[in-house]
Amino acid sequence: MMNSSSELTSQNISLFQLESELRELMDFRDSEELTPEERQAVDTQIAAYVAKEITKVDNLRAYMRHCQIMSEGAKAEAELQAKRANSWKNRLDYLKGCCLDAMNLMGKKKLEGRTGYLLAKANGGKQALTIYDATLIPESLIVYRGFMRPEAMAAIPDKIKDREDFIFDREPLTEAIRAALEKPCRLCGASGVSPCAHDGGEIRCEECHGTGRAIVPGARLEIRGQHIEVK
């Protein structure tokens, strides 16, 4: 009975030692300070260890189960932390929106405190382009699917265009439209004021409706949004 117990204890110690060896090798392999040569040496040791101990299923299985449990636990924790981060961001965005509304009502771009300030800034990047009626877009700013230019389309007789098997999609050229909308108004020269104004009075330009930019029928650039910066 004593011999059997002694053998069992010896076996447990052996398994523990083997698992510790594998754990140390795996921990060492994860070190970011390893050189490629050192990592290759560790990989060689691990491969040799597995080849030697593969028949001792319980030892390898125990460590792989440990890896699986730790992976699942870390994934669950990451999902929880992501939810927390999203919750805090939603709070921040909501409060920034409230501050932006209040500052716009006050006509303020900046509010200073003792420890910092709030700044209302226009969003960067391109203004959003809205095509509200593609049929109004001038021919010079569209293309027909199949790479047919408007000049070629104009040269095609109407009796051909009216055929049921003559099908082309009329597509607005968004970048060309954007570039056209960003040009200064041809009438007021980007001032937004009518050149017909007299006696120092300012009358909104009828061509561009006071925007100072060119007009493209059927399309417009949306007003830039704003955001709050916390400094």
Q: 113-134: per-residue pLDDT in tens?
A: 899 999 988 887 788 889 989 8
How many separate helices (H) and strands (E) can be counted in the chain?
Answer: 6, 7
Calpha distance 146→131 (Å, rounded):
21
Contact predicate 137/131, CB 8 Å: yes
Q: Please name which of 143, 113, 146, 137 lies closest in space to residue 231, comparing C-alpha atoms.
A: 113
Q: Are 186 and 208 in contact (CB under 8 A)?
A: no
pTM above 0.85, yes or no: no
pLDDT in tens, 18-35: 567 777 888 878 787 878
pLDDT, one tens digit for every residue, the chain (231 residues): 444 444 434 444 344 455 677 778 888 787 878 788 888 888 888 888 777 777 777 777 777 888 899 899 999 999 999 999 999 999 999 999 999 899 888 888 899 989 999 998 888 778 888 998 988 999 999 988 877 788 888 898 888 888 877 777 889 999 999 999 888 988 888 787 877 655 555 688 888 877 888 889 999 888 878 889 898
Q: What kind and span of H or E run contains 131?
A: strand 129-131
